[in-house]
Amino acid sequence: MEQIVRERIIESAAQLFAENGFGRVSLQDVASLAGIEPHEIFELFECEKDLYMVVLESLFNTYSNKMSDAFKDSNKPPENLEAFAKTMCDLHKQVPYLFTLYYRELLAPSEQFEPVVLKNIRHVAYLSDNNFAKGVQKEIFRHGINPAMATLMFAGMFHYYFLAKEQIKSLLPKTFDDEEFMVLALKVFLNGLHSET
Amino acid sequence: MEQIVRERIIESAAQLFAENGFGRVSLQDVASLAGIEPHEIFELFECEKDLYMVVLESLFNTYSNKMSDAFKDSNKPPENLEAFAKTMCDLHKQVPYLFTLYYRELLAPSEQFEPVVLKNIRHVAYLSDNNFAKGVQKEIFRHGINPAMATLMFAGMFHYYFLAKEQIKSLLPKTFDDEEFMVLALKVFLNGLHSET
C-alpha cells in the first residue's frame, strides 16, 4: 500500500516540478494532485528537496537503462543510432516530464544536477561516443568525426524538437509527427556521416 | 541621457530575466544592477511586464535582423546555411540572453510568446524553409527533404548546444569550441543533405 502511495506521489511530483519548476511546488501541492492526505506525504518525504531528488533519480535511471539497451550490440553502429533515436522518441512519449526537468536543470542547475542528472547523461554519452568511434573504426562513418560532438549533434536535434514542438507547431507541416521527424533526422544524419563524400 | 539610462536598464533586465526568469525579477532589482535610482526606472517602465516586453522585442528584433542577412542571396543555399550557422554562433556570443530567454519561453510561454517570440521565429523559419526548398529545387539538396523539418533539425543542433554546453562541458573534448562544433555540424548536415546517396 505504501508503495502505491509512494509511486502516486512521485508521478504527481514529476508533473508539478516539470510544469512549475523546483521551488514553486510544495509537498501540499503534490499531496493535493496525488489525491492523498498531507500527513501521508510528510510521513514519506522530509521536504521538497528530498522529493525532488527521488523524482530525478527515478526518471534519470529510467533514461539511462532504456538508452543502454539501444547500444547493446557494439557491432552495429548505424542500427544502434536508429535504436538511440527510437528510444528517445519512446521515452518522450512514456516519461515526458523527464525531458522538461532535464531542460529546466540545464537552464538553472540544482544541487542534484551533478550527482543525478550528469551522472546518467555521462553514462549514455559514453555509450554513444563509443558507438560513433566504433563506426569510424569500421569505416562505416567518415574519418574525422569527433564522437563526443557527433553525440551532441545527434541528441541535439531530438532535444530541441522535444523542447520546441508544442510552442512552434504552427511553423510545421500539419500532418507532422514524431515518427516522421525521427526518420528524416536519422536519414540525413546517417547520410551525413557516411564515409564517402 | 534618457536613452543611455534606458539602454542600461534593458541590458540589466535581459540579464536578470535570463538568470532568474520573468516573475522572479522586480523593477528594483533591475535598477540596482543597472546602478540607477529606483525612480529613474519607474519613470520609464510601468511594471515588470512592460519592461519584459521591451527586452524581448529588442532581443528578438536583433535576432530577426541578423538572421535575415544570412539569407540575403537566394541563389546560394549551401552558403546561406553556412551563414545561418555562423550568425547563430555570433549572436550567441553577442547577445547570450536572447537564447536563454528563448528557452525559458519554450518551457513556459508568457503572453509575449506569440506576438514577439513566435513572430520573429516565424520570419526566420520562413527564410530558412525557402532556402532548403530552393536547394532541393536546384538539386543541390536531396529530393524529399521537408524544408520545415530540415530547419528544425539544423537549428536544433545549435540550440541544444547553446542550452547544454555550460553544464555538460565535462563530457566534451577539452579543446572544444563553438567554431569547431559549427564546422562539424555544417559538414555533416550538408553532406547529409547532398543529393547523391
Residue B48 near residue B27 (C-beta atoms within 8 A): yes
Q: If you search the block for the grid coordinates 569505416, which residue do you land on? A: A139
A155 CB neighbours in chain B (<8 A) are 160
Backbone angles phi, psi at A194, to 5 degrees: -50, 140
pTM of the model: 0.95
Nearest alpha carbon to residue B82 among B65, B96, B69: B69
Inspect the interface and report whether the beta carbons of B192 and A190 lie closer than 8 Å: yes
Q: What is the pLDDT of residue A144?
A: 85
The DSSP symbol for A1 reads -
- The partner residue sitting opposite A148, judged by closest CB among B113, B172, B191, is B172
pLDDT of residue B33: 98
Closest approach of A160 to chain B, Cα-based (Å) = 5
pLDDT-derived band at B2 (thresholds 50, 70, 90) equals confident
Q: Which of A138, A19, A157, A102 is nearest to B168 (CA)?
A: A102
Alpha-carbon distance of B61 to B121, in angstroms, equals 10
How many angstroms separate the CA of residue A64 from the nearest CA in chain B? 16
Search chain B and give the residue with CA nearest A114.
B167
CB contact under 8 A, A189 and B191: no
**pLDDT, chain B, mean:** 94
Tell which of A191, A193, A194 to mutate to test the B interface (max B CBs under 10 Å).
A191
- Residues A149, B180: C-beta atoms closer than 8 Å: yes
DSSP 8-state symbol, A170: G
pLDDT tens for each residue of chain A, 197 residues long: 789 999 999 999 999 999 999 999 999 999 999 999 999 999 999 999 999 999 999 999 999 999 999 999 888 999 999 999 999 999 999 999 999 999 999 999 999 999 999 999 999 999 999 999 999 999 999 888 899 999 999 999 999 999 999 999 999 988 888 999 999 999 999 888 776 54
User: What one-character-per-residue DSSP string does A108-134 give?
Assistant: S--TTIIIIIIHHHHHHHHHHHHHHHH
For the record, the C-alpha cell of A183 comes out as 526518420
Q: Please answer yes or no on whether B152 and A181 come within 8 Å at the CB atom.
A: yes
Closest-CA residue in chain B for A154?
B157
CA distance A185 to chain B (A): 7
Q: Does A173 sit within 8 Å of B146, measured CB to CB?
A: yes
Task: Name the grid cell of B34.
Answer: 543597472
d(CA A13, CA A118): 21
Amino acid at position B67, single letter: M
In angstroms, the CA A194 to CA A140 distance is: 6
CB contact under 8 A, A122 and B171: yes
Contact A60, A120 (CB under 8 A): yes
| Pairwise CB contact (< 8 Å): B113 & A167 | yes
Find chain B residues with C-beta within 8 A of A194's C-beta: 191
Chain B: closest CA distance from residue A153 (Å): 5
DSSP B159-170: HHHHHHHHHHGG
Q: Over the stretch A34-53, which tens digit does the pLDDT of each residue have?
A: 999 999 999 999 999 999 99
* Nearest residue of A to residue B146, measured between CA atoms: A184
Count Cβ–Cβ pairs < 8 Å, chain A vs chain B: 163
3-state secondary structure of A166: helix
CB-based contact B148 A113, cutoff 8 Å: no
The predicted pLDDT at position A197 comes to 46
